[in-house]
Structure 1
Amino acid sequence: MSLAALGKIKVKIDVKPAVENLVFRLHYRYSYYFFMASALLTTLYNIVGKKIDCISGVGSDSFNDVVNSYCFIMGTFTVDRLHGLQVGQQVPHPGVGPPEAQDSITYHTYYQWVPFVLFVQGVMFYMPHWFWKRWEGGLFKQIIQDLSIRNYLGANLKNYFNRRDMIKTLSKYVTRTMNGHKMWAYRFFFCELLNLVVVVATLFFTDWFLGGEFLTYGTNVFAVVGLDPENRTDPMSYVFPRMAKCTFKSFGPSGTIQVRDMMCLIATNIINEKIYLFLWVWLVLLTAITCLWMVYRLLTILLPPLRLYLLKVRVLPSVSDEVETIMRTASLSDWLLLINLSRNMERSVFSEFIREFATHNSPATDQEHDTEKSPLKF
């Protein structure tokens, strides 16, 4: 009865055997989902009404539709000098007013490209993972067999009773392929470095896309949070103006050119300003975390004692001597395989494997293993 009850235990969290660590998943999973969701939100104009609505002063609906489409496609502008003035007394809205000859004018044409840019950036965050899966080809899952946490704690106890055979098979395979995982490891290190390149490139490209305002966007917003709303200049209204001006030229009834200088409500910026504020926080944190992880990765590459320590903390104290025996001959790529096996296996099962692997890796069995060939190739 007790065995039958244990056999019905199911793991609630889907833990798939994988080499990618948490930092890697922050890029290809969480960042990818965030960018795709943001790209979708920026296209849902019905949430905030019209994507842009300009005050033309003409009662014709068809003329108003033309003006709205024109201003959305050609872009709007704000006057830089008018951003620091008091709203409601000196200007109707931040940056909105008649420009003078010497005024610096900022044109806003980015908002029609925001969904496309967010989509492409989301794809870029997924690319390192795509490259790795193409190069790795499910090899790690084949190596670990059914010894991963998910399979070992599955719907029945079959894997528990068969673990000895699987551990012996895994031990023989790793022994036969010692120093044979170099390309596998180098490709993984390259994908980790590519994650850092993508997040840094995203930061600077977004800053260029928003006219050089993104790198300081978050700090500027948080700096004015506690100030009086009536006497502060909102940084979000400068980068993502909700009200801006648009100049529309058309022919009048007599054939002369008429110039209309109109105010436009850019409703999409109500969503954009929130998305890019969260995006700034996420990218800054992700860049810092990724940089720290790359420092850790560099230390593991350069310091063999650190690799030994990290592997020893993954096993039971009773097999620490076996770990030292293995690491005397293990290369960097062998360590990477072993440390990822430890991450995906239950601690006691991995300790059993280390004990078995140390037995196969002892000098007494070296000659026997040299005559055997590996069934798998990297």
Structure 2
Amino acid sequence: MFDIFGSVKSLIKISPVSIDNNVFRLHYKVTSVMLVIFSLLVTSHQYIGDPIDCYTTSKIPDNVMDTYCWIHSTFSVEQATPQLRGHTPYVGIGTRGKDDTIQQHAYYQWVCFVLFFQALLFSVPRFLWKSWEGGKCKMLVMELDCPLVADEARCDRKKLLVEYLRYHMHNHTFYALAFYLCEVLNFVNVISQIFFINYFLDFEFTTYGTEVLNFAQSNPENRTDPMARIFPKVTKCTFETFGFSGTVQRHDALCVLPLNIVNEKVYVILWFWLVLLAVISGLALIYRLLVIISPQLRILLLRSRARLAPAAQVTAISQRLWLGDWFVLYQLGKNMDPLIFQDVLVDLSRAIDVHV
């Protein structure tokens, strides 16, 4: 098991310099890694077994029937339920009547690919932001995140940083707007992913989590498991051959899908996680909007990062900054040692002639 997921370790490596925030990391770190793990899990035959096993009373070899039903998909009879037909061995298994409808199950061929594709989509905003950011934050920090720096080196780096901030003041608007755009993309992506999975699972996903909760609380004698309906473990398959006289012969097979034991759990977890992530991302956008329109909130946030600096001095500096300049300083405050960041703010206030 650890050999399978060993390649995922590189995806959870944390950079010493943070260029985003915790909500952003929930998308490209937590969700992407989760989807990659799920994709690997559904392809691990040594732990799950064969993805499909079909049984038929005809003389067709089992491996041929398994391959055929895997390629051409299986189906269930929608009317074959205990509520409509009385006793049935399995939900969806029964003789197909003239007016009965069938539900094809072809999604299981694509689950691993879809999960991996979704993992890539959750990494797109991070890729865009990293490209636009261009290593600026790491360059400005200049190893000032560690207090154990030689005095001479620390003074030289602080001087360079203050000079950069003074000469490039009011030139960081695009830098901040690019990050805010990526936050919007994160929210749009997670909402789109919910509807994409809903389409992929024949419009059953949006209510999947609530149905599972209702199922757990309903009467055991009259309830129908939504996981068994959406991810059936036993399905039907029809294989057609020609007889000696050229007549078409239909061979009915009963197929067991062990893979759906994993699929149903994967999508239950995804439903709750994506809904939670969408709520968190929506709240983060509201917070970001308040930061953009409220100078007073920006002052409070910068003061929280510069706790050791005089509050009046931080307020005076914030009033001289544009949104992009404030964002750069806030990012530096997250990554730099508090004592060094205090000195930077003091030196910057002198450089831009701020009067308290």
TM-score, normalization: structure 1?
0.85
Q: What residue number does 2:169 align with?
A: 178
Describe the SS at the equivalent of 1:90: coil
Aligned CA distance change for structure 1 residues 207 and 337 (closer, same or farther; 3 Å): same
Q: 1:210-261, CA deviations, whole angstroms, 9 ceiling, x for partnerless residues? A: 0001111111111112445454211100110001111211112443211122
268-277 or 76-85, which deviates more: 76-85
Say if 2:309 and 2:346, in contact at 8 Å, map to a contact too. no
Secondary structure of the 1:94 match is coil
Structure 1 residues 159, 261: closer, same or farther in 2, change over 3 A?
Answer: farther
Q: Which residue of 1 aligns with 2:48?
A: 48
Q: Which residue of 1 aligns with 2:328?
A: 337
SS in 1 for 2:227: helix
Corresponding letter in the other structure for 1:92: P
Work out whether 1:136 is the aligned partner of 2:133: yes
Alignment of 1:299-338 (within 5 A): 299-316=290-307, 318-338=309-329
Q: 2:95 aligns with which of 94, 98, 111?
A: 98
- 3-state SS, counterpart of residue 50 of structure 2: coil
The CA distance in 1 between the partners of 2:354 and 2:346, in whole Å, is: 15
Partner of 1:74: 72
Identity level (%): 38
Aligned positions of 1:187-336 closer than 5 A: 187-227=178-218, 229-316=220-307, 318-336=309-327
Q: Shift of residue 45 of structure 1?
A: 2.4
Tell me if structure 1 keeps the 8 A contact 2:317–2:349. yes
Instruction: Write the distance in 1 (CA, Å) between the matches of 2:354 and 2:91.
Output: 78
Structure 2 regions of 5+ residues with no counterpart?
1-12
Q: Indicate the residue corresponding to 1:83 in structure 2.
A: 81
1:101 Cα deviation from its structure 2 partner: 2.3
**Distance of 2:288 and 2:337 partners within structure 1:** 23
- Structure 1 stretches of 4+ with a deviation exceeding 6 A read none
Deviation at 1:161, TM superposition (A): 6.6
Deviation at 1:16, TM superposition (A): 1.3
SS of the equivalent of 2:92 reads coil
2:344 aligns with one of 353, 367, 370:
353
Structure 1 residues 363 and 264: alpha-carbon distance in aligned structure 2, compared to 1, 3 A threshold: closer
Question: Residue 158 and residue 329 in structure 1: after superposition, are their counterparts in 2 closer, same or farther (change >3 A)?
Answer: closer
Three-state SS of the structure 2 residue aligned to 1:106 is: strand
Q: Which runs of 5+ in 1 are unaligned?
A: 1-12, 365-378
How many angstroms apart in 1 are the aligned matches of 2:329 and 2:242?
75
* TM-score w.r.t. length of structure 2: 0.90
The residue that corresponds to 2:10 in the other structure is none
Q: For 2:346 and 2:288, how far apart are their aligned partners in 1?
A: 27
Question: Do the aligned partners of 1:199 and 1:287 also contact (CA within 8 Å) in 2?
Answer: yes
What secondary structure, in the 3-state scheme, does the structure 1 residue paired with 2:88 have? coil
Amino acid at match of 1:255: G
Q: Deviation at 1:128? A: 1.0
Q: Tell me the amino acid that sits aligned with residue 324 of structure 2.
A: S
Partner of 2:4: none
Q: Is the 8 Å Cα contact of residues 308 and 339 (structure 2) preserved in structure 1? A: no
Please name the residue that 1:169 is paired with: 160
CA contact (8 A) 2:308 2:342 kept: no
Shift of 1:363: 5.7
**Residue identity opposite 1:67 in structure 2:** M
Q: What root-mean-square deviation, in Å, do the aligned CA atoms of Structure 1 and Structure 2 show?
A: 2.1
Secondary structure at the counterpart of residue 252 of structure 2: strand
Q: Tell me which amino acid in the other structure corresponds to 1:96.
A: I
Matched AA of 1:105: I
